[in-house]
């Protein structure tokens, strides 16, 4: 039986959060429907952050009322603090995620808190989620390299993961927020974590700033990880982290894992339609390596067809 790999689509949140062109709720729903049509079943839909800080997410509560097929799709939302958690719970969220950066400076730039305070706030949200019967998930941001403080010691990642699990988190997502990790570092970090925790409680989130998102994802896979974040067309990048380019493209991860004999449950040939919707929403040309290859092949076939007439 083929290994099962879960792809968690974060384009609606991480992908859109810092786009200069405003994307309204109707277009978000249109993009979501295109993703669902391709077989995606795990989606980070929005975030309940301050609309002043992240205007693209100002419609979070409205979007929640329009999420289709909520009984069969694993929707999650990001919350920055207890206030955001309460808003998300009121809007009907069943799964919430916090983002805890691994350094003092990144936490201050991101949520205006030091590391100790940020850890305490995130732990409180995880405890509330557990008590309320919600799924709590914790991102460990800049888990490999911080744009302000440099490389992160593996012991820091392990310590913060323990803090989140102890507080009730059901999943910890290890994030290469600025795309500066390398496969050996990724393997070492996940080897440390999987010696302490079931690999099914962990997932990876990689950015493609230096072209290593696929290599890093496969390094995590080789350490036993079977769940990965991705963003359609490679959309995204943290607005508070200098140099944080786009996320791993959904179509690239699906292509890589399916080519390696894994099952994702996603129809690769239907993802270009979702990329096209994302392009319309953002006004940007998008697409990962696989999609660019596919477009090249289609262009060659068109030329051959004309030549044969």
Instruction: Write down the pTM of the prediction.
Output: 0.94
pLDDT of the residue at 309: 66
Residue 180, both tokens: 């500066």
The owner of tokens 């975030």 is 47
**Cα dihedral value 1, 212, 250, 296, nearest 10:** -100
Q: Where are the domains of the chain?
A: 6-308
- Beta strands in the chain, from DSSP E residues, in sequence order: 6-9, 42-47, 74-78, 95-101, 135-141, 145-146, 150-151, 171-176, 202-206, 227-230
The reported pLDDT for the residue numbered 241 is 54
**Alpha-carbon Rg of the chain, whole angstroms?**
19
pLDDT (0 to 100) of residue 237: 61
The Cα–Cα gap between 110 and 112 comes to 6
What does the pLDDT profile of the chain (309 residues) look like in tens digits?
789 999 999 999 999 998 999 999 999 999 999 999 999 999 999 999 999 989 999 999 999 999 999 889 999 999 999 999 999 999 999 999 999 999 999 999 888 899 999 999 999 999 999 999 999 999 999 999 999 999 999 999 999 999 999 999 999 999 999 999 999 999 999 999 999 999 999 999 999 999 999 999 999 999 999 999 999 999 986 555 555 568 999 999 999 999 999 999 999 999 999 999 999 999 999 999 999 999 999 888 888 777 776
Buried b (16+ CB within 10 A) or exposed e, 140-157: bbbbbbbbeeeebebeeb
Q: Which residues are catalytic?
A: 238
The listed CATH number (3.40.50.720, 3.20.20.140, 3.40.50.10860, 3.20.20.70) that belongs to domain 6-308 = 3.20.20.70
């Amino acid at each position: 039986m083929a290994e099962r790999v879960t792809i968690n689509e974060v384009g609606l949140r991480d992908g859109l959060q810092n786009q200069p062109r405003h994307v309204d709720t109707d277009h978000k729903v249109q993009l979501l429907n295109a993703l669902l049509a391709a077989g995606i079943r795990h989606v980070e839909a929005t975030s309940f952050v301050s609309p002043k800080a992240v205007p693209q997410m100002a419609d979070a509560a409205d979007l929640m009322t329009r999420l289709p097929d909520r009984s069969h799709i694993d929707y999650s939302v990001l919350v920055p603090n207890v206030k955001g958690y309460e808003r998300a719970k009121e809007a009907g969220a069943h799964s919430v995620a916090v983002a805890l950066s691994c350094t003092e400076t990144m936490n201050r730039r991101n949520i205006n808190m030091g590391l100790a305070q940020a850890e305490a706030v995130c732990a409180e949200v995880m405890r509330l989620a557990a008590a309320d019967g919600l799924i709590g998930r914790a991102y460990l941001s800049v888990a490999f390299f911080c744009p302000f403080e440099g490389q992160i010691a593996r012991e820091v990642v392990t310590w913060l993961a323990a803090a989140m699990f102890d507080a009730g988190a059901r999943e910890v997502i290890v994030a290469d927020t600025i795309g500066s990790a390398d496969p050996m570092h990724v393997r070492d970090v996940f080897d440390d974590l999987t010696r302490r925790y079931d690999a099914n409680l962990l997932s990876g989130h990689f950015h493609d700033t230096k072209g290593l998102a696929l290599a890093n994802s496969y390094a995590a896979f080789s350490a036993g990880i079977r769940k990965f974040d991705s963003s359609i067309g490679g959309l995204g990048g943290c607005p508070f982290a200098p140099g944080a380019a786009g996320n791993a493209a959904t179509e690239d991860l699906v292509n890589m894992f399916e080519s390696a004999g894994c099952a994702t449950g996603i129809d690769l040939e239907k993802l270009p339609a979702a990329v096209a919707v994302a392009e319309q929403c953002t006004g940007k040309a998008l697409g990962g390596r696989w999609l660019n290859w596919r477009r090249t092949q289609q262009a060659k076939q068109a030329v051959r067809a004309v030549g044969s007439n």
